Amino acid sequence: MEDQDKTKKQLIDELVELRNQIIKLEKTETELKRTEELLEKERETFFPILHKAPYGVALIDKEGRFIYINPSFTQIVGYTLQDVFSGKDWFHKGKPFPKYKGEIIKSWKKDVIQQGVDRIFSVVCKDGKIKEIELKPTLLDDGTIIVILSDITERKRSEEALRESEEKYHLVVEHANQGILIAQDGMIKFSNPKMLKISGYSQEELSSKPFTQFIYPDDREMVVENHLKRLQGIELPHIYDFRILDKDGNIKWLEISAALITWEGGPATLNFLSDITERKRAEEEMNTLQEQFRHSQKMEAIGRLAGGVAHDFNNLLTIIKGYSQLSLHELKEENPLKGNLEEINRASEKAADLTRQLLSFSRSQMMEMKVIDLYTLLKNLDKMLRRVIGEDVKLITCLANDLGRVKADPGQIEQVIINLVVNAKDAMPSGGKLAIETANVELDEVYARSHIGVKPGRYVMLLVSDTGMGMAPEVKKKVFEPFFTTKEKDKGTGLGLSTVYGIVKQSGGDIWVYSELGYGTTFKIYFPRVDEPQDIDEVKEKEVEEGLPRGDETILVVEDNEEVRKVTARILKMQGYRVLEASNEGDAFSVCDQHDGPIHLMVTDIVMPKMHGPELAKRVSSLYPEIVVIYMSGYVEDVISHHGILEKGMEYIQKPFTVNELVRKVREVLDK
C-alpha cells in the first residue's frame, strides 16, 4: 500500500510538472511547438504507464468533464471515456455518486481536495453493482482535477466482518457467566463484568494493585507459582481452585482455567474463573456429615466395648457385694474386720454407679419396665426441674388427674424429661415459658398412617413446649440424629435428643416435634396406655367413655395444610356436620360470599402465612355475628398466649388431636 501511494504521489507530481511546462510553452508559437513536441514525448512516456497502472486514474476539467480515464478506472467502475464524456450531465444525474449528484465537483474543490485528503464513496458501477471506492483527488491551479481511484470493497467487507466479530466477542465477554481476566506482569489488565460482580471491585480497583492482593493469603504462593510456570510454558493441570477475598472481606472459592496469550506485545495469561463457593460449602457440609458418621461409628464401637466390660464387671460386683454384705451380717459389732468390709461394700456401690453410667452411655442398660403413673413421676420431679431451668424461665404444668398408666423404665423416663427440659432452657437464653402437659389421647388410623411404626390405640401424651427460638426446617429434620447439635463447639454432644428418641422407641412410644423459627418448639411423646395395676397401688380402671357426640350445624374449616384440612373435614362430616373448606383467608371470604345460610362455627389454624386466625375471625364475624371459633395449632395454649396471638378465654385445640378430642371440643363449643 505504501509503494502504491508513493507511486501515486510520484505520478501526480510528474503530471503537475508536465502541466506547468505546457502552460509555459503556450507563451509563444515556438514554445507552443516545442510544448507540443514535449507533450507528445511525455505522452509517449507516461500514458503507457497510466494505461497499465493497477489503480484507476482520471483527469477532470474544471467544468466537470472527464478528459481521460485509464483502463483500471474502467475495470473498477465499468464506465469508459465515451460513457462519461457528456459534459456536466454525468455528475448532475448522480452517476456514479448518487448521494452527491451535481455537488460532487464543488465538494472536491474544497480545502480537503487542496490538501490531498483521501475520500471514500459508494459508487454505482455500470453493471449496477455498488462498490466502495477510495479517491485521492488533487486540484490543479487551472481547476483541473486529477483523481486516483482504488477499489476497497473487499477491504471494507473485511473491516466490517472484523468489526462484527469484535462486537460478538465483546458481547460474549460482557455477558459471560464466567469471570474473565487477563493478567500480565503481576497486574490485572482486563476484567469482564462477571469478574467484577464476583470480586465486588470496580475495574479501576482491580487494576490498581498486584493481583496477589486479592487472593486469600494461604493460597497466594500457589497461585503465583502456577502463573509463573504457565508463562514459562510449563504444563499444569488445566483447572484448579483457590480462594479470594472479595471487597466485603468474604472468602470465595474460584475455579480457574488459564491459557498463555500475547497481550500488547508481551506474554500474559487469559483466565476463566467460576464461583464455586456454594459447591465448596456443600462439599464441606458433606465432609462434616461424613466426619459425624465416622465419629458416630467410633462412639458406637466404644459403647459396645463399654457395655461388654460393664456387664462382666457387674457380675464381679454382684459377688463382691454379696459376700461383703453376708460377712457384715455374720460379724459381731466389735469385730475389727467389720470396718474393712463396710469400706469394701461402699466401694462396690460406687463401682456399680460407674457401671450404670457406662451402660447408659452404651444404651445397653437393662430397662426395668414398670407400670408407672406419669402424674406422680412429674410431681416428684417438679422441684428439681425448677432448679434446672433457673429463675428466668417460668415452668407451667398442666397434668391430667385421671391420667392412664404406661409401662416403662422410671429412671429412663426421668432422663427423657430432664433432657427435654434442659434442651428447652438452652433455647431460651433470655428467659421464657416452659410448659409440661399430660393427657389421655387416642391415635387413630389417620395418625398411624402418617407415622411409621405407630399403631392406632390409646396412649398417654407427654408434652414439653418452650417459647424459645424455634428451629428452621432443615434443623428440625436432623434434630434426633446422633451428634447433631446447633450449640457452639464443646457446648453440646448432640446425644441428648437422640437418647430421648431411643428411650421413647424402646418403650414402644412415638415422639413428634413441631417448631417454627420465632415461635418456640413443642415435643409430644405418646406412650401406649396399659390396663395393668401399678407396681405399688392398684388403681381402679376408668369407665368406658360414651359414644362420640353428633350434630348438624354448618362449620367452616380454614387450614393451609391440605392433609390436616381434609381429615378435619372428614371427621366432622362423619358426625353429621355440614362442612365448608378454605385453604386461606381469601378462600374463606369467597366461601362466605357464596354460602347461602348461617355458619355456626369456624375451626381455623392460628398461624397462617398471610393472616393469623384471630384476625380472620374478626373479619368473618362481621359477616356472621353469631359465629363461634375454635383455634387449632401445634403449639400449646400457653406458648400461643405468650406471643400475643391467642387471648385468654379463646377456645383452642392442640395438634395433633384425635377424633375424640375434636368432636367433643366442637360439640362443647357449639352447646355453649
Instruction: Identify whether the C-beta of residue 343 lies closer than 8 Å to the C-beta of residue 324.
Output: no
3-state per-residue secondary structure call for 277-343? HHHHHHHHHHHHHHHHHHHHHHHHHHHHHHHHHHHHHHHHHHHHHHHHHHHHHHCCCCCCHHHHHHH
pLDDT digits (tens, 9 = 90+) for 18-29: 666 656 655 555
Average pLDDT over residues 218-247: 81
pLDDT confidence of residue 526: 92
pLDDT: is 166 or 353 the higher one?
166
Average pLDDT over residues 321-348: 75
Identity of the amino acid at 1? M
Domain at 554-671: CATH code:
3.40.50.2300
pLDDT confidence of residue 637: 45
Average pLDDT over residues 201-221: 87
Q: Residue 61: pLDDT band by 50, 70, 90 thresholds? A: confident
pLDDT confidence of residue 109: 55
Mean pLDDT of the chain: 76
Instruction: Identify whether the C-beta of residue 557 lies closer than 8 Å to the C-beta of residue 582.
Output: yes
Q: Residue 545: pLDDT band by 50, 70, 90 thresholds? A: very low
Range in 319-333, 456-470, 652-666 with the lowest mean pLDDT: 319-333
pLDDT confidence of residue 521: 92
Strands (E), 61-170: 66-69, 119-124, 130-139, 145-151
pLDDT digits (tens, 9 = 90+) for 278-291: 888 878 767 655 65
Q: Residue 86: pLDDT band by 50, 70, 90 thresholds? A: low
The 3-state DSSP class for residue 77 equals helix
Asked whether residue 97 carries a pLDDT value surpassing 70, the answer given is no
Average pLDDT over residues 166-194: 81
Q: What are the φ and ψ backbone dihedral angles of 210, each rounded to 5 degrees? A: -55, 145
pLDDT: is 294 or 419 the higher one?
419
∠ CA 38-43-45, nearest 5°, is 95
pLDDT confidence of residue 489: 56
- What are the structural domain ranges in the chain? 2-157, 176-275, 284-362, 370-530, 554-671
Percent of the chain, pLDDT > 90?
8
Asked whether residue 537 carries a pLDDT value surpassing 70, the answer given is no
Provide the CA 43 distance to its chain's centre, in angstroms. 83
Asked whether residue 105 carries a pLDDT value surpassing 70, the answer given is no
Angle (deg, nearest 10), helices 2-25 and 29-52: 160
| CA distances for 527 relative to 411, 491, 635, 661, angstroms | 15, 31, 20, 17
Identity of the amino acid at 31? E
Average pLDDT over residues 213-228: 85
pLDDT confidence of residue 231: 75
Same fold, 370-530 and 554-671: no
pLDDT confidence of residue 608: 77
Taking residue 552's Cβ as centre, other Cβ atoms within 10 Å add up to: 9
Average pLDDT over residues 269-281: 87
pLDDT confidence of residue 295: 43
| CA distances for 62 relative to 66, 107, 193, 284, angstroms | 10, 13, 57, 85
Q: Report the relative pairing of strands 601-605 and 554-558 from DSSP bridges.
A: parallel
Percent of the chain, pLDDT > 70?
70
Residues in a beta bridge with 183: 188, 269
pLDDT: is 78 or 638 the higher one?
78
pLDDT confidence of residue 555: 93
Burial class (CB in 10 A: 0-12, 13-18, 19+), 503: buried
Show the cell assigned to 263: 497481550
| 284-362 CATH pick, 3.30.70.940, 1.10.3720.10, 1.10.287.130, 1.20.272.10 | 1.10.287.130
pLDDT confidence of residue 112: 45
The yes/no answer on whether domain 176-275 falls in CATH 2.40.160.40 is: no
- 2-157: which CATH architecture? 2-Layer Sandwich (3.30)
Instruction: Identify whether the C-beta of residue 621 lies closer than 8 Å to the C-beta of residue 627.
Output: yes
Range in 218-227, 475-484, 509-518, 630-639 with the lowest mean pLDDT: 630-639
Asked whether residue 578 carries a pLDDT value surpassing 90, the answer given is yes
Fold of the CATH domain 370-530: Heat Shock Protein 90 (3.30.565)
Asked whether residue 92 carries a pLDDT value surpassing 60, the answer given is no
Average pLDDT over residues 70-74: 84
Asked whether residue 250 carries a pLDDT value surpassing 80, the answer given is yes
Asked whether residue 129 carries a pLDDT value surpassing 50, the answer given is yes
Highest mean pLDDT: which range of 438-452, 479-493, 589-603: 589-603
Q: CA–CA separation, 400 vs 137, rounded Å?
A: 112
- Say what the pTM is: 0.34
Taking residue 127's Cβ as centre, other Cβ atoms within 10 Å add up to: 7
pLDDT: is 322 or 67 the higher one?
67
